[in-house]
Amino acid sequence: MLTPGQKAPDFTLFNTERNEISLSSFHGKNVVVLFFPMAFTSTCTVELCEMRDNIATYMGLNADIVAISVDSPFTLAKFKEEQALPFDLLSDFNKEASQAYDTYYETFVMNLKGVSKRSAFVIDGDGIIQYAEVLESAGDVPDFAAVRETLASLN
């Protein structure tokens, strides 16, 4: 399990516009990396809309947001459009980032194989993990107050 103080694993994933986005491209800026199980599910929608509704707070804390799931870029594009999400949704279709961050269900509900666990990481401008929360229950959401407090401590 990844813990604060460790170097965050780099990743390069496709966003909904089919552009490659790497963690390393955020160098010098804080980033909140969220992993979520599946687009269009109730808790995932609540979680990402919480981030959408508080985007000004995160921008004020000098933080970008990326949300990652194993859904295809095409599914994520429709989800992003329907929910008016103002940040990148990244497709970890090959499940490499989810495994690198140890936020991965081998078997999820309905016997689905290889789904991201819900988790939140705050990574500073030097690529160091400052906050890490991996949830075992997909029905729980990250501690957003702790995420914001961590970001505030970095500024």
- Residue of 44, 61, 76, 77 marked catalytic: 44
- Cα 128 to Cα 8, 45, 76, 87: the distances in Å are 6, 28, 27, 21
Residue 49 known to be catalytic: no
Within 10 angstroms of residue 27's Cβ, the number of other Cβ atoms is 11
Residue 64 to residues 28, 30, 95, 108, 115: CA-CA distances in angstroms?
A: 11, 6, 22, 29, 24
Per-residue exposure over 48-73, b if at least 16 CB sit within 10 Å of its own CB, e if not = beebbeeeeebeebbbbbbbbbbbeb
Report the catalytic residues.
44
